[in-house]
Amino acid sequence: MTTEQNQPGYVWADVQDAPVRELFPGIRQRPLWRGDDGASAQVLEMDPHSCWEGIDVHDPGPEEVFVVSGVFNDGARDYPAGSFIHAPAGSWHVPQTETGCTLFVFYPAG
């Protein structure tokens, strides 16, 4: 069997080795990948009772979120582990959680 994983551009990351940046109290970002076109992937860790400061506007492009663990709330409803959210460009929400959560976040347009 031939494998293609060693081709140029093939990248992998271990979330535990990713640098940690605190965005707001109790909300940490771990960048995993950034493409040449500005696309990026990251893990967002939110402690219980944490809330984004202000409104998170999706600009210039959409945001895609997969709830890995816990329960994420966008300011309007809860999304339990296993939920997928596609937020189109120009949309907004106020990320928060009562229980704590871990999110995989992908920005296809940067």
Q: Which domains does the chain have, with CATH numbers?
A: 19-107 (2.60.120.10)
Strands 63-73 and 78-80 come out as: antiparallel
Strands 96-97 and 92-93 come out as: unpaired
Q: Containing H/E element for 8?
A: none
Q: Supply the pTM of this predicted model.
A: 0.90
Start-to-end CA span in the chain (Å):
35
SS3 (DSSP) at 56: strand
Query: pLDDT truncated to tens, each residue of the chain (110 aa)?
Result: 345 667 787 888 999 999 999 999 999 999 999 998 899 999 999 999 999 999 999 999 999 999 999 999 999 999 999 999 999 999 999 999 999 999 999 999 87
The two structure tokens encoding residue 27: 């909300």
* Burial class of 94 by CB neighbour count within 10 A (0 to 12, 13 to 18, 19+): middle
